Amino acid sequence: MSKIMFDYTKSVLERVSFDPVLFCKELEKAIRTLLPFELDQLREWLFDFTIEKPELKQCLIIVNS
């Protein structure tokens, strides 16, 4: 079940990545719902994903706090 939620979260974040504000909101939702080990995976994925989208780097603060 947890893999499904993690994959769903990634797909939502990819779909809203055109808007940094919406991306940050969805990221906040994900932080509330994912398990601690999934958050570690999400952090790694975000670092890779935001390399190509520097406008989303500001949202990394949410994950690191």
Q: Where are the domains of the chain?
A: 3-64
* 7 vs 61: CA distance, rounded Å: 21
Give the tens place of pLDDT for each residue, 3-25: 889 999 999 999 999 999 999 99
Note the pTM of the prediction, 2 decimals: 0.89
| Cβ atoms of 51 and 27 closer than 8 Å | no
Tokens 């993690």 sit at which residue? Answer: 6
Q: Residue 65 carries which DSSP code? A: -
Q: What is the pLDDT of residue 2?
A: 66
Q: What is the pLDDT of residue 31?
A: 92
